[in-house]
Amino acid sequence: MAAGFSCMNSLTVIQASQGLAKYLKDKHPDSASGGVVIGHDARHNSAKFAALAANAFISQQIPVWFYSEPSVTPSVPFGVTHLKAAAGIMITASHVCFLDSKKQKMKIKTNSPVEPGTRQRYFKNGAQINTPIDVEIAQSIEENLAPWSGAWKDLQECEYLHADAYKTILPHYTKTVWDYANSTVSDWKQPRPFVYTPLHGVGGLVFPDLCQSVGITEFTPVPEQVEPNPDFPTVSFPNPEEAGALDLAMQTADREGKTLIIAHDPDADRFAAAEKVDGSWFSFTGNHIGVLLASHLFDSLENRKDGKRIAVLNSTVSTGMLEKMATAKGIQFEEALTGFKWMGNIARCLEGEGYNVPYAFEEALGYMFPAVCHDKDGITAAMVFLAAQAKWQSQGLTPYMKLQQLFNEYGHYETLNNYFRSPNPETTMALFRAIRNGPYRAEKTLGPFKILRWRDMTEGYDSGTTDNKPTLPVDKSSQMLTLWLDQDVRFTFRASGTEPKVKLYVESCGASREQAVDAVCNAFLAVLKEWVVPFAPSMTYSRQMPTSSGHVFQISE
């Protein structure tokens, strides 16, 4: 949040809102009458920005279903489909775009090359806006940059403003969440006592009340973090993926004698969990939770009689374990590019083809349940996880024990996800150019590994397909390579679109934890020594990084 056309501020909110409003009015006049759902979180100025956005639509006589209170992000895409609205907007912050813990920095959820990073947008199908609609909206924004008359005024009552929409929608949303979670078990059982933290976000306004309403009472909110606070005073970085984010929750759990933690990020669209194992806290990765929830949902689908084909999906940087699990169950698996703008829309397409799509996830703690909404949904994920945990508990298993059971069945999947910090875009481009010009693809080797398959999503090449073309959409404006190696290793190397980083996602499936750990560490070293050090020596990186099972990988000087 700062001055300038590339930052989040009142002017860029007005410009983006005017562009979307004009696009709906001109290109989708029939659906525009259904209105737009607008929500906001509890961060600084979010309510102000939401009101400015609403003005733009009201000026075009487009009804606004306005969430006047801080709202959880998944309630917006839910509201879009529930109300049959034309679109939805959520004023919130991306977990990858903070300048620091006290400042708001928004991420656009489209591919627009000109649109300022501001907020998440949903179209009438309840999924995030994607190509080609994003390009059309971007053009409309360019054509409507000058603030319209009344753009800066306070939001006022009028026939097009439904100011109490959140009070109407929230009960429907929470009932749908509960009904869905309850439907995944034959007999609802009480989960074990847990500690809950929303990390100073809006989840604390919804999740505890939802639990109480369905009889889940044995939980302790972290008192210092349960109320929304846009300054995030108890965490240095309010992202449950970050080391230290759950420290206060762990201290609370230790004090209360509880061994399970349930957590949401500040806008409650992502979900995290931790369990005390042999006296130490184990934080589940997004991939861990992803396959745990998948296993639970697969069990719940076994006796279905509607005859529909089932499909699940995850992103290309997420674990390959989901595909193996789905294949074993006769379930269709689909791979998607990173982000729920892809998975939500692919799920809609699959549903149009007659599939039942119960689930999708990505490794960054995002989980989608289309029966509730077509975007990541931390509230539903937490309730489904509690249903699964209670079921496993009746079988004598904890979530951690269930995860080990799955590893015994499908192989031990280990991941090592980290990044290299780039000093400038030129260095990043030079790195990828040198990799493509090097001998690796032709010689099919990278350090000690054999290259079995090479996929370049920038150049549009895939050695693993019959026509050597990727099945996923090619994006020449981004940099992304995925390699499959021997020792059952796969990694994706991609330039971040929002930060000065090149991210590396490494995974191996081994017969044992030790074998898989060795493989991911050796693959990381191969990328470092063969690519980063010779081609981008100015890039920096951590010398100490954890793998998914808790092994700490030390890189010598």
| Cα 460–chain centre separation | 25
Nearest Cα residue to 208 out of 189, 238, 228: 228
Residue 20: predicted pLDDT: 96
Q: What is the mean pLDDT of residues 168-194?
A: 98
Q: What is the mean pLDDT of residues 448-452?
A: 98
Residue 125: predicted pLDDT: 78
- What percent of the chain lies above the pLDDT cut of 70? 94
Model confidence at 354: pLDDT above 70: yes
Instruction: Decide if 10-163 and 411-554 have a common fold.
Output: no
Q: Is the pTM of this model over 0.85?
A: yes
Task: Tell me, yes or no, if 94 is annotated catalytic.
Answer: yes
Burial classification of residue 69, based on how many CB atoms lie within 10 Å of its CB (0-12 exposed, 13-18 middle, 19 or more buried): middle
CATH of 10-163, one of 3.30.1540.10, 3.40.47.10, 3.90.550.10, 3.40.120.10: 3.40.120.10
Q: 411-554 — its CATH code?
A: 3.30.310.50
Kindly report, residue by residue over 390-436, the tens digit of the pLDDT: 999 999 999 999 999 999 999 999 999 999 999 999 999 999 999 99
Looking from the CA of 304 toward its CB, the CA atoms found within 13 Å total 16
Do residues 109 and 375 touch, judged by C-beta distance below 8 A?
no
Domain boundaries, the chain: 10-163, 169-409, 411-554
Model confidence at 450: pLDDT above 90: yes
Do residues 357 and 351 touch, judged by C-beta distance below 8 A?
yes
For strands 501-510 and 412-421, give the pairing. Answer: antiparallel
State the residue for tokens 């396959």: 291
Nearest Cα residue to 38 out of 107, 98, 85, 101: 85
* Average pLDDT of every residue of the chain: 93
Pick the catalytic residue: 59, 71, 94, 548?
94
Model confidence at 116: pLDDT above 80: no
Domain made up of 169-409: CATH architecture: 3-Layer(aba) Sandwich (3.40)
Q: Got the DSSP string for 452-468?
A: EEEEETTTTEETTSTTS
